[in-house]
Structure 1
Amino acid sequence: MKKINLNKIWLCILALSLSFTACDTVDFGDMNVDPNSPTDASSASLLTNAERSLDGIVSSTTTNCYVQYLSNGQYDEESRYQTLNWSFNGLYATLVDLQKVIELNTDEATKVNAQAYGSNGNQIAAATILRVYLLHHMTDRWGMIPYTEAIQGLENQYPKYDSQESIYMGLFDEIDSALGMINSGNGPTGDFLLGGDMTLWREFGNTVKMTMALRLSNADPTTGSAKFNEAYNNAISSNANNIFYPYLNEDTNDNFYQDHFVDQGRRDYLISDVFADALIGTGTPTVPEDPRLTKMADPATNSGTYVGAPYGQSNSATDDYSFITADIITKSDAPLYIYTYSEVLFARAEAAALGWTSEDASALYDQAIAASMEQWGVDATEATAYIALNPYSSLEDIAYEKWVAMFLQGYNSWAEWRRQKAMGYERPLTAPDDLLSNATGIPQRHAYSATAGSLNEENYNAAVSAQGPDNLNTILWINQ
Structure 2
Amino acid sequence: MKLKYISILSAAVLLSVTSCKKDLLKINQNPNGSQTAQPDYLLTAATKATADTYWGVANNMDASLLFVQYWSKIQYTDPDRYIYASSAFEELWSTGYSKSIVNLNQIIKLADAQGNTNYKGVALVLRSWTFSLLTEAYGNIPYKQAANIDQYLTPAYDAQKDVYFALLDDLKAAQTALDPSGKAIAGDVIYSNNIASWKKFANSLRLRIALRIADREPAKAKQVLADIQAEGGSYISSNAETAQLVYLDSPNQNPVSNLFDTRDDYRISKTIVDKLFALNDPRLPIYAAPTQDATPQTYVGLPNGLLVGDASNYGFTKTSKPGTYFRAPHAPAVILSYSESLFDRAEAAARGFTTEDAASLYGQAVTAALAQYSISSADIATYVAQAAVKYDASNYKKSIGEQKWLALFGQGLEGWTEWRRLDYPQLQPAVAGTLNGKIPVRFIYPGTEQSLNKTNYQSAVAAQGADALTTKLWFDVN
Q: TM-score, normalised by structure 2?
A: 0.85
1:89 CA drift (Å): 2.3
Partner of 1:306: 299
Per-residue CA deviation, residues 161-206 of structure 1 (Å, 9 max, x unaligned), is 1111111111111111111011212432111122111011111111
Secondary structure, counterpart of 2:334 in structure 1 = strand
Partner of 2:419: 417
Partner of 1:12: none
Partner of 1:92: 97
* 1:344 is the counterpart of 2:341: yes
Q: Could you tell me how far apart the structure 2 residues matched to 1:472 and 1:385 are?
A: 40
Structure 2 CA distance for partners of 1:411 and 1:187, relative to 1, 3 Å? farther
The aligned amino acid for 2:339 is: S
1:32 CA drift (Å): 8.9
Partner of 2:428: 430
Structure 2 CA distance for partners of 1:453 and 1:293, relative to 1, 3 Å? same
Secondary structure, counterpart of 1:153 in structure 2 = coil
Secondary structure, counterpart of 1:92 in structure 2 = helix
Counterparts of 1:446-465 in structure 2 under 5 Å?
Answer: 446-465=443-462
1:207·1:231 contact (CA, 8 Å) conserved in 2? no
Q: 1:406 aligns with which of 387, 405, 408?
A: 408
Counterparts of 1:36-435 in structure 2 under 5 Å?
Answer: 36-53=32-49, 54-59=51-56, 60-61=60-61, 62-83=63-84, 85=86, 86-87=89-90, 88-93=93-98, 94-107=100-113, 111=114, 120-183=116-179, 184-231=181-228, 234-249=234-249, 251-261=250-260, 263-264=261-262, 266-281=263-278, 289-304=280-295, 305-313=298-306, 314=308, 315-316=311-312, 317-329=315-327, 331-389=328-386, 390-393=389-392, 394-395=395-396, 396-421=398-423, 426-435=424-433
Per-residue CA deviation, residues 301-322 of structure 1 (Å, 9 max, x unaligned), is 2235121112212433121112
> Identity across aligned pairs (percent)?
34
1:227 CA drift (Å): 1.4
1:82 CA drift (Å): 2.1
Q: Could you tell me how far apart the structure 2 residues matched to 1:257 and 1:155 are?
A: 37
Q: Could you tell me how far apart the structure 1 residues matched to 2:303 and 2:414 are?
A: 23
Equivalences, count: 426
Per-residue CA deviation, residues 338-384 of structure 1 (Å, 9 max, x unaligned), is 11111111111122222222222211111111111100221110110
**427-436 or 226-235, which deviates more:** 226-235
The aligned amino acid for 1:465 is: A
The aligned amino acid for 1:258 is: S
Per-residue CA deviation, residues 12-58 of structure 1 (Å, 9 max, x unaligned), is xxxxxxxxxxxxxxxxxx99962344212211111111111122103
1:55·1:245 contact (CA, 8 Å) conserved in 2? no
Q: Where does the alignment leave 5 or more consecutive residues of structure 1 unmatched?
A: 1-29, 112-118, 283-288
Q: Where does the alignment leave 5 or more consecutive residues of structure 2 unmatched?
A: 1-25
Q: Could you tell me how far apart the structure 2 residues matched to 1:239 and 1:151 are?
A: 34
1:468 CA drift (Å): 0.3
**33-42 or 52-61, which deviates more:** 33-42
Per-residue CA deviation, residues 128-173 of structure 1 (Å, 9 max, x unaligned), is 1111110111111111111111242342222211111111111111
1:92·1:151 contact (CA, 8 Å) conserved in 2? no
The aligned amino acid for 1:92 is: Y
Secondary structure, counterpart of 2:244 in structure 1 = strand
Q: Could you tell me how far apart the structure 2 residues matched to 1:34 and 1:366 are?
A: 58
2:326·2:410 contact (CA, 8 Å) conserved in 1? no
Structure 2 CA distance for partners of 1:366 and 1:37, relative to 1, 3 Å? same
Q: Could you tell me how far apart the structure 2 residues matched to 1:275 and 1:69 are?
A: 6
1:439 CA drift (Å): 7.0
Secondary structure, counterpart of 2:144 in structure 1 = coil
Partner of 2:7: none
Partner of 1:18: none
Structure 2 CA distance for partners of 1:455 and 1:194, relative to 1, 3 Å? same
Secondary structure, counterpart of 2:146 in structure 1 = coil
Q: Could you tell me how far apart the structure 2 residues matched to 1:402 and 1:154 are?
A: 41
**183-192 or 410-419, which deviates more:** 183-192
Per-residue CA deviation, residues 57-80 of structure 1 (Å, 9 max, x unaligned), is 033212111110111122212211
Secondary structure, counterpart of 2:281 in structure 1 = coil
1:47·1:191 contact (CA, 8 Å) conserved in 2? yes
Larger radius of gyration: 1
Structure 2 CA distance for partners of 1:441 and 1:342, relative to 1, 3 Å? same
**345-354 or 299-308, which deviates more:** 299-308
1:416 CA drift (Å): 0.7
1:346·1:365 contact (CA, 8 Å) conserved in 2? yes
Structure 2 CA distance for partners of 1:347 and 1:31, relative to 1, 3 Å? closer
Q: TM-score, normalised by structure 1?
A: 0.85
The aligned amino acid for 2:39 is: S
Q: Could you tell me how far apart the structure 2 residues matched to 1:328 and 1:454 are?
A: 38
**220-229 or 376-385, which deviates more:** 220-229
Q: Could you tell me how far apart the structure 1 residues matched to 2:149 and 2:404 are?
A: 41
The aligned amino acid for 2:456 is: N
Partner of 1:445: 442
Q: Could you tell me how far apart the structure 2 residues matched to 1:31 and 1:334 are?
A: 44
Structure 2 CA distance for partners of 1:31 and 1:417, relative to 1, 3 Å? closer
